[in-house]
Structure 1
Amino acid sequence: MASPAVAAAAVRFCRGSGRALPLLSSRHKRFMSPLQRRAYVVTTTRNDAKFKLDEKTAHSSLDLFKRDTGVIYRVLGLDPSQVQNNPERFRDWAVVFGDEKIRSGRHYWEVTVKKSHEFRIGVAEALMSRDECVGTNSSSWVYGYAQRKWFAMLNNKTVPVTLVGKPDRVGVLLDYEGGVLALVDVEKGSIIHSIRAKFQGDICPAFGLWDGEIVTHSGLEEPAGLK
């Protein structure tokens, strides 16, 4: 396991550039998670997925609160050697997954972001490598906020998202069969930006955090204006 100093440096590197460390491609380092075989991780085929954040996946710099619906970033975090070692945990990146795997349907949730100035929110394949950061590969689709700007991110490429200011809370719409992940204006009940994708297998809500805290609100009904 990497030393605390190395782990902290890796987190800062991801925070500053959004780039993954030089690694073998996911084709050669395919992550096979025990989550697939564990009954207490729910796989949903219905709409309005309800989830909590999965502590087993959380990087050592992240603390969960509000009954595992919120996450806060700690600059120093825990010594990685003091965190339970398991293959589901992100080791180098300040990332955490939701505890529900989705394989069909339309789902909507919201995220309170007013206390963070650097984060990523979206979805990722449940089997995504824990050696990579959300947004830096073809297994994750996210919206990010950094340096007072919004962007969409996939495969380490960013696309600016026009959004005036920074709302306290934003929505996320996932249409699995339709191949859409959208960022939603909660107050207007309208889509700000959408990412087209081809989802395959189980995917999970995914979050990266490098400042402050965010809180998730799941199991919500999709706003009428989005249907």
Structure 2
Amino acid sequence: MALPTARVLRRRAPEWLGATRRALSFKLEERTAHTSLALFQGGTGVKYGMVGLEPTRVAPDADRFREWAVVLGDTAVVGGRHYWEVTVRGSRHFRIGVADVDMPREACIGAHHHSWVFAYAHGKWHAVLAGGSAPVLGFAHPDRVGLLLEYEAQRLSLVDPSRAAVVYALRTQFRGPVVPAFALWDGELLTHSGLDVPEV
């Protein structure tokens, strides 16, 4: 499926990571975090607060998500194969994937042509792209889940780390730099980056 041309990047460019053997290492970018999200553990974890942070305690920023509980990673990928994992704690409704660095801050990841995600809600997984979705079968609620990004192959895979096996591969067309992306409506997620790419 052809996707529209990427807009010119207008926001502060995050660190770039191209086709290299160096493992992808990232933290969550606090400047992008919706006010209902709080980062912890040195910017590697995010937790949801129903009331959210008081606006007076959150610096205004054009990079901040305004409508949806989304946060982005601080390292952009422009090539190569990269892998990271997420520990899930007490969450029954979350999304994990990648997004264009300049995706609209009024949108949720998975709702447009600027992001590619796996969503968990109501006890089920779905691969989500441009507002459409496909069920991911045979994968229960995880304590830990992996994502494998293969930029040149135009593929994002959901990985079961306990079996080192791909559960579902989402094929797409990346148009430019992408960053890890997360949405959360309860509980908390802890990211684990700097990991070697598994043989799956």
- TM-score normalised over the length of structure 2: 0.92
Alignment partner, residue 209 of structure 1: 184
Cα distance in 2, alignment partners of residues 53 and 113 from structure 1: 16
1:34 to 5, 11, 33: 11
1:113 to 88, 97, 118: 88
Deviation at 1:107, TM superposition (A): 0.2
Alignment partner, residue 16 of structure 2: 43
Task: Give the helix-richer structure, 1 or 2.
Answer: 1
* One-letter amino acid of the structure 1 residue matched with residue 69 of structure 2: A
Cα distance in 2, alignment partners of residues 138 and 159 from structure 1: 16
Cα distance in 2, alignment partners of residues 164 and 177 from structure 1: 27
Cα distance in 1, alignment partners of residues 138 and 113 from structure 2: 25
Would you say the 8 A contact 1:99–1:204 is kept in 2?
yes
Show structure 1 runs of 4+ deviating over 2 A: 30-34, 79-82
Task: Give the strand-richer structure, 1 or 2.
Answer: 2
SS at 1:56 equivalent: helix
Deviation at 1:200, TM superposition (A): 1.8
Alignment partner, residue 166 of structure 2: 191
Q: Greater CA radius of gyration, 1 or 2?
A: 1
1:94 to 69, 94, 99: 69
Where in structure 2 are there 5+ consecutive unaligned residues?
Answer: none
Change (3 A) 1:185 1:93: same
Matches within 5 A, 1:9-158: 32-36=9-13, 41-45=14-18, 46-47=20-21, 48-158=23-133
Would you say the 8 A contact 1:31–1:128 is kept in 2?
no
SS at 2:12 equivalent: helix
Would you say the 8 A contact 1:125–1:204 is kept in 2?
yes
- Give the aligned length: 193
Where in structure 1 are there 5+ consecutive unaligned residues?
Answer: 1-26
Would you say the 8 A contact 1:31–1:130 is kept in 2?
no
Cα distance in 1, alignment partners of residues 109 and 55 from structure 2: 20
State the percentage of identical aligned residues.
47
Would you say the 8 A contact 2:11–2:102 is kept in 1?
no
Deviation at 1:81, TM superposition (A): 4.9
Aligned-residue Cα RMSD (Å) equals 1.5
* One-letter amino acid of the structure 1 residue matched with residue 16 of structure 2: T
Cα distance in 1, alignment partners of residues 53 and 17 from structure 2: 32
Cα distance in 1, alignment partners of residues 49 and 69 from structure 2: 10
Would you say the 8 A contact 1:90–1:131 is kept in 2?
yes
Cα distance in 1, alignment partners of residues 65 and 8 from structure 2: 11
1:165 equivalent to 2:148? Answer: no
